[in-house]
Amino acid sequence: MMEKPPYDICERTFQFALRIVKLCQTLDQKSPTAGALSRQLLRAGTSVGANIEEGQAGQSRADFASKYCIARKRAREASYWLRLLAASGVVSEAQLRPLLAEIDELIKILTAIIKKTRKD
């Protein structure tokens, strides 16, 4: 049975980044192409949580929303690299399915947070 993701967005994005780091460590050893894709994924996948953390210390609601928008952009980018890794056969789609599901959920959560922040 799969463990439920943490409720806290900071912890959830940290755990996602940790999973990305571990995946990228294995990809760097596969081939030059895998290594190049890995570096792109590593930057985008770890940036999501870093921007969430920055947003937590935002100086205003607008600053908070801006950091969350950046986090959502990086999440979409990470989703792209994950899909490309699967489509190119560098990593099996089955292996990436949990990460793809998690990043899709994170994008939805971030979108909801951004909308709520801008509405209030």
Q: Looking at the domain assignment, is residue 4 inside a domain? A: no
pLDDT in tens, 63-118: 999 999 999 999 999 999 999 999 999 999 999 999 999 999 999 999 999 999 98
Residue 82, domain extent: 9-119
Q: How far apart are CA 18 and CA 59, in angstroms?
A: 27
Q: Looking at the domain assignment, is residue 51 inside a domain? A: yes
pLDDT in tens, 16-73: 999 999 999 999 888 999 999 999 999 999 999 999 999 999 899 999 999 999 999 9
Residue among 98, 97, 106 nearest 73 (CA):
106
Number of H helices and E strands in the chain, helices first, is 4, 0
Quick check: 48 and 74 in contact, CB under 8 A?
Answer: yes
Q: What is the pTM of this model?
A: 0.91
Quick check: 71 and 55 in contact, CB under 8 A?
Answer: yes
Q: Looking at the domain assignment, is residue 65 inside a domain? A: yes
Quick check: 43 and 15 in contact, CB under 8 A?
Answer: no
Quick check: 31 and 70 in contact, CB under 8 A?
Answer: no
Q: Looking at the domain assignment, is residue 3 inside a domain? A: no
Q: Looking at the domain assignment, is residue 69 inside a domain? A: yes
Q: Looking at the domain assignment, is residue 115 inside a domain? A: yes
Q: Looking at the domain assignment, is residue 2 inside a domain? A: no
Looking at the 3D structure of the chain, how many domains does it have? 1
CATH of the domain at 106: 1.20.1440.60
CA–CA distances in Å: residue 32 to residues 3, 37, 45, 80, 87: 33, 9, 20, 19, 17
